[in-house]
Structure 1
Amino acid sequence: MNANRARMFFGSELRRMREASGLTGKELADALGCTPQWISTMESGRKISEQSALDLDTYFTTGGHFHRLWKLAIDIELQAALPPGFPEYADHEKRARTVRAYCPLIISGLFQTERYAETVISAIDTYGTQDLIAKRMSRQALLSQEDPPRVWLTLEETALRRKVGGKEVMHEQLDALLKASEQPTVMLNIVPERVGYHAGLEGLLMILGFKDQADIAYTESSGEGMLIRDPSKVKEKLVRWDLVRGHALPIEESRAMLRSLQEDL
């Protein structure tokens, strides 16, 4: 695990307060109901927990000092776990009026079920997995808000056939996609396997449209992301988007494929 300055500061603050109170690690551990080894782990900055932060705030009467440090440490870990450019993209996505999403390998986070998301995120083996899952789920509020954006979601058939998390998880995920495709603001299309190689297979592509600013694009491949603002480059991504959509099945045929894939599980 890489060094995290907030975690390290948490540990140094814990050691400072413990020593200022004249406590040994064992004495503090006994007071908190944990082990001396856990106190040592926190003081070294290797690992901390929310419950321990709350317990320390209560014991030392800090007014939430340790909990704020814990929250900062988690935020830093989450930022480090996400591809470059994605946190900024996610902020823009909240204000988008149109979303064009092409996902060649896995289903877009905007449409993932919690169990599908957990399988994907857990495979990365990052610190703060549950927080990443919670953030991904909260991102989906965009689709159910009072005036949701129009979303064009294009998926590869191979991504839908991949049994992420097993049959039960995929059955639930395909069902969620079918329900999403029935929303009037969501247009779902599938690129069938028979198409073979095409321009979209370079990686994930997201294009956001706004009322008050120029379109922006986000691309991702092999865990590396890039936010694109240059209008000429965004236009290039729109062309790529159109090329991919040209290979996709119509909406009703795409729904029929989803049902067929679900039945075949």
Structure 2
Amino acid sequence: MARTNGGSPKARVIGAELRKARQENGVGVRELARRLGTTHSKLSRYENGQSIASSEFVASTLTALGVPDAARERGLDLARGRQWTNWLAPNAPGLHQELTTLIEFERSANHIVEVSAMVMPGLLQTSDYARAVMADLPSADLETRVTLRVGRREVLNAKSAPRLESLIMEAALRTRIGGKPVMAEQLRHLCKMAEKPNITVRVVPEMDVWHPGHAGSYILFGFPSSAPIVHLEHYNSRVFLHEPEDTCTYQSATDRLRNLAMSEQESSALIVEAAREMET
């Protein structure tokens, strides 16, 4: 039996996997429901992340769609995982699960706030900068990861693109990840992306007062008809928060950082200045 969990991160990701598999195989919701002997409304609740499908249901669905063994196992890995209130994923089992989660939230969000303490926002990174950030990865995985990260920013050009609000700590502009030429290109790219109507880039200046930006980076996803989700990523683990007491805390932190940040014009001028310093 499925467990209702009000659009939790895990429910949404499993639902996205089921929806993607169905659409890739050209099967309608009603036809798939007929094959499974269930109702289309129940299937829709799973695909929309309103309920978490059991591993048995996921297995039956992927089999009914004729999904290849490798893809079916990935879907089952998601369904079999613990249904934590906050989905903590230390040593996450592979690239697919992590990207499935982020891509689904980036695709379905209408507003994304990324607070960046020491590294440029993921959706605004150049390929060379991303490559420098991921330099510790095995060479066999590095280029694939870089291509996927850079490719994710295409969501910002979509017809229903989310609004991206980047709040970047000033220290991140001065940290020469990849060396001066790479950093200069990254900063110029940041200014170019900020010209898009759905992207806002503001810098939180260095100051003597502690503020939430000193506690580390995070992403706050806002959705049209679902509760917000916060994504935290550290050296070797990721966590998705969706309980109201947690997300409200990060919403308050974001409001404080907005009040401390420079204007868009002041931020752009500072980023250009930092780029010039790197170029000289």
| TM-score (norm. length: structure 1) | 0.66
The counterpart of 1:88, out of the listed 76, 101, 106, is 101
CA 1:257 to 1:264, structure 2 compared with 1: closer, same or farther past 3 Å? same
CA distance in 2, matches of 1:196, 1:106: 21
CA distance in 2, matches of 1:142, 1:223: 26
Runs of 4 or more above 6 Å deviation: none
CA distance in 1, matches of 2:221, 2:196: 19
Q: How far 1:194 sits from its partner (Å)?
A: 2.9
CA distance in 2, matches of 1:171, 1:145: 27
Q: How far 1:222 sits from its partner (Å)?
A: 3.8
CA distance in 2, matches of 1:96, 1:241: 17
Partner residue of 1:202? 215
Partner residue of 1:220? 233
Q: How far 1:124 sits from its partner (Å)?
A: 4.0
CA 1:225 to 1:195, structure 2 compared with 1: closer, same or farther past 3 Å? farther
User: 1:92-149 CA deviation, whole Å, 9 max, x = no partner?
Assistant: 1111110011010100110000000001112344751111111101111111112311
Is the CA contact (8 Å cut-off) linking 2:92 and 2:98 kept in structure 1? no
CA distance in 2, matches of 1:126, 1:240: 37
The counterpart of 2:153, out of the listed 129, 140, 155, is 140
Q: How far 1:229 sits from its partner (Å)?
A: 1.2
SS at match of 1:133: helix
Partner residue of 1:233? 246
List gaps (5 residues or longer) in structure 2: 1-68, 78-90
CA 1:111 to 1:149, structure 2 compared with 1: closer, same or farther past 3 Å? same
CA distance in 2, matches of 1:100, 1:164: 23
Is the CA contact (8 Å cut-off) linking 2:241 and 2:247 kept in structure 1? yes
CA distance in 1, matches of 2:94, 2:199: 29
The counterpart of 1:119, out of the listed 129, 132, 140, is 132
List gaps (5 residues or longer) in structure 1: 1-67
Give aligned-pair identity as a percent.
26
User: 1:198-227 CA deviation, whole Å, 9 max, x = no partner?
Assistant: 222222111111122111111233443210
The counterpart of 1:252, out of the listed 259, 265, 268, is 265
Q: How far 1:195 sits from its partner (Å)?
A: 4.6
Q: How far 1:79 sits from its partner (Å)?
A: 5.3
Is the CA contact (8 Å cut-off) linking 1:208 and 1:216 kept in structure 2? yes
User: 1:56-77 CA deviation, whole Å, 9 max, x = no partner?
Assistant: xxxxxxxxxxxx97xx99xx9x
Q: How many residues align?
A: 195
Partner residue of 2:276? 263
Please say which structure displays the higher CA radius of gyration: 1
SS at match of 1:194: coil
| TM-score (norm. length: structure 2) | 0.63
Is the CA contact (8 Å cut-off) linking 2:109 and 2:223 kept in structure 1? yes
Is the CA contact (8 Å cut-off) linking 1:202 and 1:221 kept in structure 2? no
